[in-house]
């Protein structure tokens, strides 16, 4: 394994990534942004080696998958991290997993890459400056495995206000043959389409008059997926990427992937989801390994689950979690240190008695046209 990602306080990063104006415009106009080689190749090598060990069941957490539940006296055991069946061949083991969710709550490496400083640099600009880290997914997508049909991530992970953003780190080079992502370019302007009545899961903008209700979201059969006709209104762009590239995408944008048509290439990626840390969410309560822990991370009245998710950058007035494995992030700073990181709020024009907060005379006297403008004139 390579050395850990180095980070001190967010403002002390020596290699902080600088988002350009053009990149910012691209993300807001089209709903996605590809940042080439944002993650160093030594880190990609670590992720790739990790996936190889996980696929073969060689991680220590997989070799000791069962442990006694300390909250029970009946000897019941619980499984921490699944391994492929031991009787499979190495080739069959490599085909066993398609994707695995939320391993940042079990593995230090997943927490560390969820809080990768250069990924957070970009997120601070796109959805920040306050960033809450919510979800991780490790996609393995072996040869021959299926993709995922058209969907919107905010359908699955609602935040209020809706500030959801995904960050997709390519572990392997990906293209059309091994199942790269497709984006419906510009569809981030669409509302989130709610599920049809009777479907127990899914979020949507139900208050919009005449909005279409959907079903079979994520179905790879375009004839069944109700989002396919909406995606067809837009240019559909293949997002080819090199290992180390990171794709950022808005929670509203319609996106999909197709099958891995190759016989010898994986399409591995490490994907995390984030929102602005001042957004409210009821998604993803951290139950740990016993139901009682979940109650600590979910407000009994509002059902808010912000306390289950890690404050990555900035500050917030809402609850948040600390990283289990101690990865450097804003959650580990003191309240005073977080406040100093967010001093921008005290410098906003709304806190001054000049500029746009002043008064202007609607019809200034004729002989004052050439006079110097008052400091608080409030005009342009």
Smallest CA-to-CA distance from 130 within 338, 292, 305, 328 is with 338
pLDDT at 265 over 60: yes
Closest CA to 318 of 279, 273, 274: 279
Are 276 and 251 in contact by the 8 Å Cβ rule? The answer is no
Per-residue model confidence as pLDDT tens digits over 278-334: 999 999 998 754 444 555 578 889 999 999 999 999 999 999 999 999 999 999 999
* Contact criterion met (CB below 8 Å) for 84 and 101: no
Distance between CA atoms of residues 237 and 274, nearest Å:
23
Determine the pLDDT at residue 72: 47
**Which pLDDT tens digit goes with each residue over 45-80?**
999 999 999 999 999 988 764 444 455 444 444 446
- pLDDT at residue 352 in the model: 57
Distance, first Cα to last Cα, the chain: 57
What DSSP character marks residue 279?
Answer: S
pLDDT at 10 over 90: no
The domain defined by 10-347 carries CATH number 2.60.120.620: yes
- How many whole angstroms separate alpha carbon 122 and alpha carbon 20? 10
Per-residue pLDDT, 81: 86
Q: Is 191's pLDDT higher than 60?
A: yes
Cα→Cα distances 330→7, 77, 130, 318, 323, Å: 11, 35, 9, 14, 10
Selection from 134, 85, 136, 127 nearest residue 108 by Cα: 136
Per-residue model confidence (pLDDT) at position 95:
94
Query: What are the pLDDT digits (tens) for 205-249?
Result: 999 999 999 999 999 999 999 999 999 999 999 999 999 999 999
Query: What is the pLDDT, as a whole number, of residue 13?
Result: 47
Query: Which residues neighbour 333 within 8 Å (Cβ) at sequence distance 6 or greater?
Result: 9, 341
Find, among 116, 16, 10, the residue nearest to 337 by Cα: 10
* Structure-token match 């059969």, residue found: 221
Residue 76's pLDDT is what? 42
Summarised one tens digit per residue, pLDDT across range 90-142 is 999 999 999 999 999 999 999 999 999 999 999 999 999 999 999 999 999 99
């Amino acid at each position: 394994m390579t050395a850990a990602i180095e980070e001190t306080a967010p403002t002390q990063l020596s290699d902080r990534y600088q988002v350009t104006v053009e990149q910012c415009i691209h993300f807001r106009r089209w709903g996605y942004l590809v940042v080439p080689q944002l993650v160093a190749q030594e880190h990609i090598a670590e992720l790739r080696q990790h996936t190889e060990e996980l696929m073969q069941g060689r991680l220590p957490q997989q070799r000791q998958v069962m442990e006694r539940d300390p909250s029970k006296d009946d000897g019941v055991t619980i499984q921490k991290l699944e391994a492929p069946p031991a009787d499979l061949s190495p080739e069959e083991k490599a085909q066993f997993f398609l994707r695995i969710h939320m391993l940042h709550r079990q593995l230090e490496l997943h927490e560390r890459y969820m809080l990768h400083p250069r990924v957070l640099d970009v997120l601070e600009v796109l959805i920040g400056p306050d960033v809450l880290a919510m979800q991780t997914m490790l996609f393995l997508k072996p040869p021959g495995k299926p993709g995922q049909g058209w969907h919107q991530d905010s359908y699955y992970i609602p935040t209020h206000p809706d500030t959801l953003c995904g960050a997709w780190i390519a572990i392997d080079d990906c293209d059309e043959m091994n199942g790269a992502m497709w984006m419906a370019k510009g569809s981030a302007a669409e509302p989130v389409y709610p599920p049809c009545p009777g479907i127990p899961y899914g979020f949507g903008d139900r208050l919009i008059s005449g909005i279409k209700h959907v079903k079979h979201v994520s179905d790879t059969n375009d004839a069944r997926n109700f989002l396919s006709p909406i995606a067809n209104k837009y240019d559909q762009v293949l997002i080819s990427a090199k290992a180390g590239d990171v794709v950022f995408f808005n929670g509203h944008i319609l996106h999909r992937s197709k099958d891995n048509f190759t016989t010898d290439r994986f399409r591995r990626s490490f994907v995390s989801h984030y929102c602005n840390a001042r957004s409210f969410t009821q998604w993803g309560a951290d139950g740990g390994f016993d139901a009682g822990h979940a109650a600590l991370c979910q407000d009994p009245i509002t059902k808010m689950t912000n306390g289950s998710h890690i404050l990555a950058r900035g500050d917030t007035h809402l609850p948040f979690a600390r990283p289990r494995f101690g990865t450097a992030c804003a959650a580990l700073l003191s309240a005073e240190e977080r406040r100093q990181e967010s001093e921008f709020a005290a410098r906003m024009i709304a806190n001054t008695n000049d500029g746009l907060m002043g008064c202007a005379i609607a019809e200034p006297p004729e002989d004052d046209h050439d006079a110097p403008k008052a400091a608080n004139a409030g005009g342009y």
